[in-house]
Amino acid sequence: MTRSHVFPRHCHAALPTAVGGEGCYLIDADGKRYFDGSGGAAVSCLGHSNARVREAIKAQVDQLAFAHTGFFTSDPAEKLADLLIANAPGDLDRVYFVSGGSEAVESAIKLARQYHVENGEPQRRHLIARRQSYHGNTIGALSAGGNAWRRQQFGPLLVEMSHIAPCYEYADRPEDETPEAYGQRVANELEAEILRLGEDSVMAFIAEPVVGATLGAVPAVPGYFKRLREICDRYGVLLILDEVMCGMGRTGHLFACDGDGIAPDILCIAKGLGAGYQPIGAMLCSARIYDTIAAGTGFFQHGHTYIGHPVAAAAGLAVVSELLERDLPAQVRTRGQHLQAALEQRFGQHAHVGDIRGRGLFQGIEFVADRGTKAPFDPALGIAGKVKKAAFAEGLICYPMPGTRDGRHGDHVLLAPPFIATEAELDEMVDRLSRAVDTVILGL
Ligand code: PMP
């Protein structure tokens, strides 16, 4: 084999070459077909060959590939923003387009800070986030994230931020506490942290409505996010929701926070917005935030060359139109129920599966050494990585996440199949995963 000059994520991995995509499947150069059970990382919500999105991209390239947003706006960006705002929760009113999730989070952090400065409260500088969360890999977003594994080598470079407990019912709720009481208790950690830092010194709180990459599709208990919203309102703290992974229909609602009955001040989306056809993310913000800056300096002190890229926006417009016109979030709800039932049936009594959780077509499976004590496997065993490898051999792509050495969470895999997957395809996915898990467990 000739030497590859591409810098792969895993330096020693000999990766197959992807050459095609058809519906829910990816195809490599040897003709092997892989069911895309995780959409890469919750990206490919429409599968790999959606005709409408492909046509929209081609038409936009033919008409106009690029015009810098310092000089022009474009039709696809305007139309996509209109469509998002028409369907967005609360009073979100403006959209700032970027190229992906980390950029959306970076933009949100800077917007929150600039809003407070222009609103006459420059002392508001603290961002509070949660442990066991992930918000991206750039320095600001990585600082906000509480994923110990991703942060460990970069500690000295990271910006200091506060991290409170996530809402992680399986691992953290004592048996004698109701889910509601547990939710209120962990949400109240936000209030305690605001008071500790200084009542008027916190600019924003950021959280994923359903925790994706770090915990594997962990939703909050009922009432948790409502309590967080109340606390933010009480102390003038902006609520930033990171729906980069769980947004755009993935949980059965166009926006995941609709499932929790709350709206943020700033909302970050990406992955499913471009559905893998183009790199695009977005930050939506409330009229109050935008108007404050418009009435002040009139200039958001931020920007990237490719913001509002017309071809990416054209792809996003076609994706969101497909989601809405075909009512795919409703389909996600019913197929999600089917998937959850199939996972329960297959893994519900499995000696090494501690928890199956998620919403819609966003499901996580947590592996344990002991179901009774919920003790995770020794991270040195690399269970999640082994399941990924065994599943790949079975022709299934699933997203692994290793457990942490502190035992705070175990190995898990995340499933985020395309919304177009049929029930038969979802059953086949569960079969392949089950064979992969058996192979790994038998090999221990
Ligand atoms: N936020 C969340 C919740 C994510 O899951 C991710 C990506 N896994 C990001 C931000 C970063 O997005 P990107 O990789 O597109 O920069």
The DSSP bridge partners found for residue 163 are 129
Distance, in Å, from the CA atom of 340 to the CA atom of 334, rounded to the nearest integer, reads 10
pLDDT at residue 406 tops 80: no
Question: Maximum Cα–Cα distance for the chain, whole Å?
Answer: 65
Q: Which of 9, 38, 43, 102 to mutate to test the pocket of ligand 1 (most atoms within 8 A of CB)?
A: 102
Q: Which residue in 90, 100, 102, 95 sits closest to 279, CA to CA? A: 100
- The first and second tokens of residue 279, run together, are 């790199």
In percent, the amount of the chain with pLDDT more than 90 equals 93
| CA of 101 relative to ligand 1 center, distance in Å | 4
Strand order in the sheet with 92-98: 92-98, 281-286, 266-269, 238-242, 202-207, 126-130, 162-164
| Closest atom of ligand 1 relative to the 208 alpha carbon | 3
**DSSP percent split of the chain into helix, strand, coil, nearest 5:** 40, 15, 40
| pLDDT confidence of residue 1 | 52
pLDDT at residue 429 tops 70: yes
| Closest atom of ligand 1 relative to the 211 alpha carbon | 3
| pLDDT confidence of residue 148 | 85
Q: What is the pLDDT of residues 213-243, one digit of tens each?
A: 999 999 999 999 999 999 999 999 999 999 9
Number of H-type helices and E-type strands within the chain: 14, 17
Q: CB of 282 within 8 A of CB of 98?
A: yes
| Closest atom of ligand 1 relative to the 242 alpha carbon | 3
| Closest protein CA for atom 1 of ligand 1 | 135
The DSSP bridge partners found for residue 128 are 162, 205
Distance, in Å, from the CA atom of 439 to the CA atom of 441, rounded to the nearest integer, reads 6
| pLDDT confidence of residue 147 | 87
- The first and second tokens of residue 168, run together, are 């992680």
| CA of 109 relative to ligand 1 center, distance in Å | 14
| CA of 100 relative to ligand 1 center, distance in Å | 7
The DSSP bridge partners found for residue 283 are 96, 268
Average pLDDT, the chain: 96
Q: What is the pLDDT of residues 42-93, one digit of tens each?
A: 999 999 999 999 999 999 999 999 999 999 999 999 999 999 999 999 999 9
Model confidence at 407, pLDDT cuts 50, 70, 90, reads confident
Q: Cα angle vertex 289, ends 288, 291, to 5°?
A: 65
**Residue 266 gets which letter from DSSP?**
E
3-state secondary structure of 288: helix
| pLDDT confidence of residue 203 | 98
Q: Output the CA torsion sign for 188, 189, 190, 193.
A: positive
Q: Which residue in 233, 261, 317 sits closest to 50, CA to CA? A: 317
| Closest protein CA for atom 15 of ligand 1 | 101
Model confidence at 274, pLDDT cuts 50, 70, 90, reads very high
The one-letter amino acid code at 227 reads R
Mean pLDDT of 87-101: 98
Q: What is the pLDDT of residues 188-212, one digit of tens each?
A: 999 999 999 999 999 999 999 999 9
- The first and second tokens of residue 328, run together, are 């795919």
pLDDT at residue 367 tops 80: yes
| Closest atom of ligand 1 relative to the 213 alpha carbon | 5
3-state secondary structure of 405: coil
The one-letter amino acid code at 172 reads D
3-state secondary structure of 167: coil
| Closest atom of ligand 1 relative to the 141 alpha carbon | 10
Taking the CA of residue 166 as centre, how many other CA atoms within 13 Å lie in the half-sphere pointing to its CB?
27
DSSP element (H, E) containing 231 = helix 224-235
| CA of 228 relative to ligand 1 center, distance in Å | 22
| pLDDT confidence of residue 10 | 82
| Closest atom of ligand 1 relative to the 212 alpha carbon | 5
Mean pLDDT of 140-155: 93
- Domains present along the chain, CATH in parentheses: 18-49+327-442 (3.90.1150.10), 53-325 (3.40.640.10)
| CA of 245 relative to ligand 1 center, distance in Å | 6
For residue 146, CA distances in Å to 45, 137, 150 come to 26, 11, 9
Distance, in Å, from the CA atom of 101 to the CA atom of 81, rounded to the nearest integer, reads 17
Angle between helix axes 310-325 and 75-87 (nearest 10 degrees) is: 40
| CA of 176 relative to ligand 1 center, distance in Å | 35
Q: What is the pLDDT of residues 281-330, one digit of tens each?
A: 999 999 999 999 999 999 999 999 999 999 999 999 999 999 999 999 99
For residue 253, CA distances in Å to 48, 71, 257 come to 22, 35, 8
Q: What is the pLDDT of residues 310-319, one digit of tens each?
A: 999 999 999 9
Above 0.95 for ipTM, yes or no? yes
Which residues lie with the beta carbon below 6 Å from any ligand 1 atom? 41, 100-102, 105, 134-136, 208, 212-213, 242, 244-245, 270
Q: Cα angle vertex 213, ends 80, 20, to 5°?
A: 65
Q: Which of 135, 248, 250, 280 to mutate to test the pocket of ligand 1 (most atoms within 8 A of CB)?
A: 135
Q: Which of 215, 245, 251 to mutate to test the pocket of ligand 1 (most atoms within 8 A of CB)?
A: 245
| Closest protein CA for atom 5 of ligand 1 | 245
DSSP string, 196-222: HH-TT-EEEEEE-SEE-TTTSSEEPPT
Model confidence at 2, pLDDT cuts 50, 70, 90, reads low
For residue 51, CA distances in Å to 38, 69, 315, 319, 332 come to 21, 28, 11, 11, 20
